[in-house]
DNA sequence: GTCTATACATAGATAGAC
DNA sequence: GTCTATCTATGTATAGAC
């Protein structure tokens, strides 16, 4: 950290990344406007270009910030649990917490999956594969112990993240459906990530335990 | 069908809708280009505007086409099954077929969920709620019969559609991850909708049957 | 480092001939 | 109904003053 490497670690940079995360989450990459990011961050647009670079650089910075937290927390928490079903429950609830308590994670991830991961940098793919690897070791151990029957690792993973990403958006979608006059008030609109995570975890654990051979 | 209402039911109109479905699925609403839709449909851009209208009208037409098929097929198929678990399996596999054998359904749906359903017309919300209603009646009956324990209708629905929409995109995402150098060849990349649907169905059915009270 | 002003490109939409 | 040409708006990005 010499004099030149970080002249001003003031919150300008952090505010820009935060603003970019918000804008990209709300509008997607193509829908997001650089002018709007600058406005949200309360900096001049030219300042934004000076500090970070073009729109693509803004997006990548925002993406990486979103995916940094989950992985470390995940392996820490899973290590604490002992039995495979406990580990699986911990994995699901930790992912539920990260996805459902962030405003940016689910919309960004959903759009990336929709585009076939076209804009995902290598680091994010690596983080994703490490998460699948954790699930893999849990399910393998559980199968050897006789508690899980013939688990499909990838589809199980997609059941978890698919369900939780959709659950993270359900409040907004239901509100939109209500305002369009198509839906009426849903009592489950305000479920916490704790209860959703617990439901998904228990359903999966019991589903894998008692699966018939297919 | 007077002389004036449908002058030319030739395939111009159909080709435009098809082209719009493709373009919107690949790029999303903001990313899609009207010029490109016209090019794909092999019609002049002005012709496209003359026949259908602006970009929003194009999008709504494409959306409705995607959602028309599933609902009818769903209630037909579910009616044929008798026991609640058989009905649930039929529902899941029918949704799997519709989502995973269409190139346009999953990307479009994922982006709509990501945006909180902002561009969904009322008709699509209604179709969605009817699908949830079918699931509701299945789970209610199953609970009364004692085969399902305390099912959460909405979260179960989101586990189904979340998992299947993600599964529909997994081949593309994995290929992208491979080409970025982050992932290595995955043997499950080419799973059929039949096997994915069956796995998701069986896992859910068994998970709901043997759930502990939470 | 930060600002104003602007260049440059592109996309949505339409006018008007045929 | 279909085409060419074009208008207009907007968005990304930068040049250059301070």
The C-alpha of B79 sits at a distance from chain A's nearest C-alpha, in angstroms, of 23
Spell out which residues of chain A touch residue B148, defining contact as CB-CB under 8 Å: none
A66 Cβ under 8 Å from any chain B Cβ: no
pLDDT of A2 higher than 50: no
pLDDT of B117 higher than 50: yes
Strand, helix or coil at A54?
coil
Q: What is the mean pLDDT of chain B?
A: 91
Higher pLDDT, B154 or A121: B154
Predicted confidence at residue B1, as pLDDT, reads 37
Q: Which residue of B has its CA nearest to A149?
A: B203
pLDDT of A202 higher than 70: yes
pLDDT of A1 higher than 50: no
Predicted confidence at residue A116, as pLDDT, reads 96
Question: What's the residue count for chain B?
Answer: 214
User: Are the CB atoms for B92 and B100 separated by under 8 Å?
Assistant: no
| Cα distances (angstroms) measured from residue B131 to each of B53, B109, B192 | 30, 15, 23
Report the residue from A155, A166, A200 with minimal CB separation from B167.
Answer: A155
pLDDT of A9 higher than 50: no
What is the mean pLDDT of the segment spanning B15-21?
95
User: Are the CB atoms for A155 and B199 separated by under 8 Å?
Assistant: yes
Q: Where are the alpha helices (DSSP H) in chain A?
A: 11-31, 34-41, 45-51, 55-80, 84-100, 105-114, 122-144, 153-179, 193-209
Please report which confidence band the pLDDT of residue B123 belongs to, taking 50, 70 and 90 as the band edges: confident
pLDDT of A214 higher than 90: no
Higher pLDDT, B51 or B210: B51
What is the mean pLDDT of the segment spanning B44-57?
96
Give the tens place of pLDDT for each residue, A28-46.
999 999 999 999 999 999 9
The C-alpha of B196 sits at a distance from chain A's nearest C-alpha, in angstroms, of 7
What span, in angstroms and rounded, lies between the C-alpha atoms of B145 and B148?
8
Spell out which residues of chain A touch residue B86, defining contact as CB-CB under 8 Å: none
What span, in angstroms and rounded, lies between the C-alpha atoms of B122 and A210?
40
C-beta atoms of A115 and B121 within 8 A: no
pLDDT of B9 higher than 80: no
b/e code A171-191 from CB counts within 10 Å (16+ = b): bbbbbbbeebebbeebeeeeb
Give the count of beta carbons closer than 10 Å to the beta carbon of residue A72.
Answer: 10
pLDDT of B140 higher than 50: yes
C-beta atoms of B122 and A181 within 8 A: yes
Residue–nucleotide distance: B34 CA to D13 C1' (Å): 24
What span, in angstroms and rounded, lies between the C-alpha atoms of B129 and B140?
16
| CA-based nearest residue to A169, from A180, A161, A181 | A161
pLDDT of B4 higher than 70: no
Interface A-B, measured as beta-carbon pairs within 8 A, has a size of 214
| Cα distances (angstroms) measured from residue A56 to each of A25, A29, A31, B10, B112 | 14, 9, 13, 43, 22
Domains of chain B: 10-53 (1.10.10.60), 63-209 (1.10.357.10)
The position carrying tokens 């579910």 is B78
Q: Find the largest Cα–Cα distance for chain B.
A: 65
Predicted confidence at residue A145, as pLDDT, reads 96
What span, in angstroms and rounded, lies between the C-alpha atoms of A56 and A22?
15
Please report which confidence band the pLDDT of residue A70 belongs to, taking 50, 70 and 90 as the band edges: confident
What span, in angstroms and rounded, lies between the C-alpha atoms of B184 and A154?
14
Predicted confidence at residue A67, as pLDDT, reads 79
The C-alpha of A203 sits at a distance from chain B's nearest C-alpha, in angstroms, of 4
| CA-based nearest residue to A183, from B134, B127, B161 | B127
| Cα distances (angstroms) measured from residue B140 to each of A71, A119, B59, B70 | 38, 42, 36, 22
Please state, for a pLDDT cut of 70, what percent of chain B lies above it. Answer: 93
C-beta atoms of B200 and A159 within 8 A: yes
pLDDT of A68 higher than 90: no
The structure tokens listed for B187 are 């043997």
- Classify residue B96 by burial, with Cβ atoms within 10 Å: 0-12, 13-18, 19+: buried
A129 Cβ under 8 Å from any chain B Cβ: yes
What is the mean pLDDT of the segment spanning B167-193?
93
C1' of nucleotide D14: residue with nearest CA: A46
Give the tens place of pLDDT for each residue, B55-108.
999 999 999 888 878 888 999 999 999 999 999 999 999 999 999 999 999 999
Q: What is the mean pLDDT of chain A?
A: 91
pLDDT of A3 higher than 60: no
| Cα distances (angstroms) measured from residue A74 to each of A34, A87, A93, A133, A155 | 33, 10, 10, 12, 19
Predicted confidence at residue B42, as pLDDT, reads 96
Spell out which residues of chain A touch residue B129, defining contact as CB-CB under 8 Å: 177, 182-183
Spell out which residues of chain A touch residue B203, defining contact as CB-CB under 8 Å: 156, 159, 204, 207-208, 211
B213 Cβ under 8 Å from any chain A Cβ: no
Strand, helix or coil at B141?
helix
DSSP type of residue A213: P
pLDDT of B3 higher than 80: no
What span, in angstroms and rounded, lies between the C-alpha atoms of A59 and A204?
34
Q: Is the pTM of this model over 0.85?
A: yes
Predicted confidence at residue B119, as pLDDT, reads 85
pLDDT of B214 higher than 60: no
């Amino acid at each position: 950290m010499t004099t030149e490497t970080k002249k001003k670690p003031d919150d300008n940079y952090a505010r820009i990344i935060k603003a970019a995360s918000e804008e990209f989450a709300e509008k997607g990459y193509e829908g997001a406007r650089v002018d709007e990011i600058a406005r949200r961050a309360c900096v001049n647009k030219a300042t934004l270009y000076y500090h970070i670079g073009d729109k693509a650089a803004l997006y990548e910075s925002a993406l990486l910030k979103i995916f940094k937290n989950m992985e470390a927390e995940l392996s820490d928490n899973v290590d604490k649990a002992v039995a495979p079903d406990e580990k699986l429950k911990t994995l699901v609830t930790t992912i539920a917490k990260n996805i459902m308590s962030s405003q940016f994670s689910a919309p960004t991830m959903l759009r990336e999956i929709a585009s076939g991961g076209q804009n995902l940098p290598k680091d994010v793919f690596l983080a994703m594969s490490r998460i699948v690897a954790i699930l893999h070791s849990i399910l393998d151990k559980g199968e050897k112990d006789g508690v899980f029957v013939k688990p499909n690792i990838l589809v199980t993973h997609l059941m978890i993240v698919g369900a939780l990403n959709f659950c993270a958006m359900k409040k907004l979608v239901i509100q939109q459906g209500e305002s369009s006059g198509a839906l009426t008030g849903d009592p489950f609109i305000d479920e916490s990530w704790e209860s959703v995570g617990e439901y998904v975890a228990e359903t999966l654990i019991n589903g894998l335990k008692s699966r018939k051979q297919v």
